[in-house]
Amino acid sequence: MTVESRKALEQIQPYTPGLPVWEVQQKYGLKSVVKLASNENPLGPSPKAIEAIQSSLGELHRYPDANTTAIRHAIGEKLGISSEQFIITNGGDELIKLISETYLEPGDNIIVPSPSFSEYEFGAHLMDAKVIPVPLDDHFRFDVPAILAAVTQQTKIIYVCSPNNPTGTYMTHAQLTELLQGLPKGIIVVIDGAYNHYADAADFTDGIEFVKENYPVVILHTFSKIFGLAGLRIGYGIAQASIIQQILKVKEPFNVNTLAQIAATAALTDEEHLDLSRQTVIEGRKQLYEACRELGLPYIESMGNFVLIELGPHTQNIYDTLLTKGIILRNGKAWGLPQHVRVSIGTKQENSFLIQELRTLLTVGNIK
Ligand SMILES: Cc1ncc(COP(=O)(O)O)c(C=O)c1O
């Protein structure tokens, strides 16, 4: 006799990660593969983080610090916020799950301006809550009046991914103010700032001022992107201390491993690595925009380390052919955008390789 799992789990769709380099190497017999599929840092981890890890390996027989004291203080100092206003998690993904477990009752709903990051849905479905998608506008921008109109008594969480994955668009300061001031009480707004370091628009806000003004917001940050530590799994949430206390109730004691805590603390102050990483993305975005214009491919200007490009009806064919050349992109199908791909910004050489292969395919290869 089979044991039935919870009914709510039937709604959960498995997460589709970017294809790993080794898999594409094996499948196509390739020596080198360029992965532009998971918005990672193409420069690698902060050298200071690597050094810190190497010098702490001998301590691995000890449990990690359950209170994540050093990293909370380091972040607090950097952002000018009390260390009581942070929760450190096993990646931003865990924070989304913990927030869902803290606030969602069966039948509640979350609002997701869509398309966006799929883990918000996962958290809701896990708790038997409903997802209310609110489409971005025709230019993939946030539509605050539509978000406000979607709010019901069941709404518990609104996710604002800014810059938004996969579109790279963002919620302006004025829009976020309008949203927060227009909401009834009792709703948590999660501002997912996984890509906030790459945003350079004058009217972009990371939302921290709204935490300081005691709005019911939780800001998500991660060490997986600009800090280059995706493999270690560490991220954090910023909120009023009372919200943090609520979320801490569902956290496992040793959720963040020792090496992640140590590496993140070191990476946080590695300004050289941060500057270089940011510069690489800002220049890489320009490089891709220029190529798109030359090739006649529509694209969305991005505040993240990725660009959503419209390849048209032959997207799947182009995507598959690029894979055989050793270039991994993210197919837009996952977001209901079958004519788009999301391209993570690589090094200048990696971007050039992609551009050169695309040019060949679209001109000589006759795929259009
Ligand atoms: C928008 C967004 N939020 C959160 C995350 C989670 O990051 P991690 O769990 O690696 O910290 C990602 C990862 O791709 C993301 O794109």
pLDDT digits (tens, 9 = 90+) for 346-357: 999 999 999 999
Query: Which residue's C-alpha comes closest to atom 5 of ligand 1?
Result: 92
Q: How far is the CA of 41 from the centre of ligand 1 (A)?
A: 13
Return d(Cα 123, Cα 299) in angstroms, integer: 30
Does the CB atom of residue 198 touch ligand 1 within 6 A? no
Per-residue model confidence (pLDDT) at position 213: 96
Residues of the chain with pLDDT > 70, as a percent, come to 99
> What percentage of residues in the chain have a pLDDT greater than 90?
94
**pLDDT higher than threshold 80 for residue 330:** yes
Q: How confident is the model at residue 265, as a pLDDT?
A: 98
Give 92 Cα–ligand 1 centroid separation in angstroms.
Answer: 5
- How far apart CA 183 and CA 198 sit, in angstroms, is 28
Does 92 contact ligand 1 (Cβ within 6 A)?
yes
- Exposure string over 338-347, b if 16+ CB within 10 A, otherwise e: eebbbbbbbe
Of 19-33, 229-243, 272-286, 332-346, the range with the lowest mean pLDDT is 19-33
Phi-psi region of 302 (alpha: psi -120 to 50; beta: other; left: phi over 0): beta
The three-class DSSP label of residue 89 is strand
Question: For residue 221, what are the contacts with CB-CB under 8 A and spacing of at least 6?
Answer: 92, 193, 194, 196, 235, 236, 237, 238
Q: Which of 41, 114, 206, 224 to mutate to test the pocket of ligand 1 (most atoms within 8 A of CB)?
A: 224
Q: Does residue 175's CB lie within 6 angstroms of at least one atom of ligand 1?
A: no
Does the pLDDT at position 137 exceed 90? yes
- How many Cβ atoms are within 10 Å of 331's Cβ, its own excluded? 23
**Could you tell me the pLDDT band of residue 366, with boundaries at 50, 70 and 90?**
low
Residue-wise burial string across 26-40, b where 16 or more C-beta atoms lie within 10 A, e elsewhere: eeeebeebbbbbbbb
Question: Does residue 1 surpass a pLDDT of 80?
Answer: no
Locate 287 and state its tokens: 């490089």
Mean pLDDT of 329-333: 96
Owner of token pair 């829009």: 175
Check residue 16 and give its pLDDT. Answer: 78
Residue pLDDT, tens place only, 65-86:
999 999 999 999 999 999 999 9
Identify the weakest region by mean pLDDT among 24-33, 140-149, 183-192, 265-274: 24-33
pLDDT in tens, 258-301: 999 999 999 999 999 999 999 999 999 999 999 999 999 999 99
Per-residue pLDDT of 246-257, as tens digits, reads 999 999 999 999
The residue whose CB lies within 8 Å of the most ligand 1 atoms, and thus the one to mutate among 119, 238, 306, is 119
The burial of 117, by beta-carbon neighbours within 10 Å (0-12 exposed, 13-18 middle, 19 or more buried), is given as buried
Q: Is the CB of 93 under 6 A from ligand 1?
A: yes
pLDDT at 18: 76
Asked if residues 220 and 193 have their Cβ atoms less than 8 Å apart, the reply is yes
Contact predicate 83/241, CB 8 Å = no
Q: Which atom of ligand 1 is nearest to the CA of 89?
A: 11
Going from the N-terminus, what domains does the chain have, and what CATH number goes with each? 7-45+272-363 (3.90.1150.10), 47-269 (3.40.640.10)
- pLDDT at residue 365 greater than cutoff 80: no
Separation CA 362–CA 168 (nearest Å)? 24
**How far, rounded to the nearest angstrom, does the alpha carbon of residue 216 sit from its chain's CA centroid?**
21
Which atom in ligand 1 lies closest to the alpha carbon of residue 38?
Answer: 14
361 CA distance to ligand 1 centroid (A)? 31
State residue 2's pLDDT score.
87
What's the 221 CA to ligand 1 centre distance in angstroms? 8
Q: Which of 97, 116, 117 to mutate to test the pocket of ligand 1 (most atoms within 8 A of CB)?
A: 117
Q: Which run of H or of E encompasses 332? A: none
| Assigned token pair, 344 | 């993570």
**What is the residue-averaged pLDDT of the chain?**
96
Mutate to test the pocket of ligand 1, among 100, 165, 330 (most ligand atoms within 8 A of CB): 165
The answer to whether residue 13 scores a pLDDT higher than 90 is no
Which pLDDT belongs to residue 364? 73
Ligand 1 contact via 39 beta carbon (within 6 Å): yes
Q: Look at residue 367 in the predicted model and tell me its pLDDT.
A: 66
Q: Is there an atom of ligand 1 within 6 Å of 109 CB?
A: no
pLDDT number for residue 83: 94
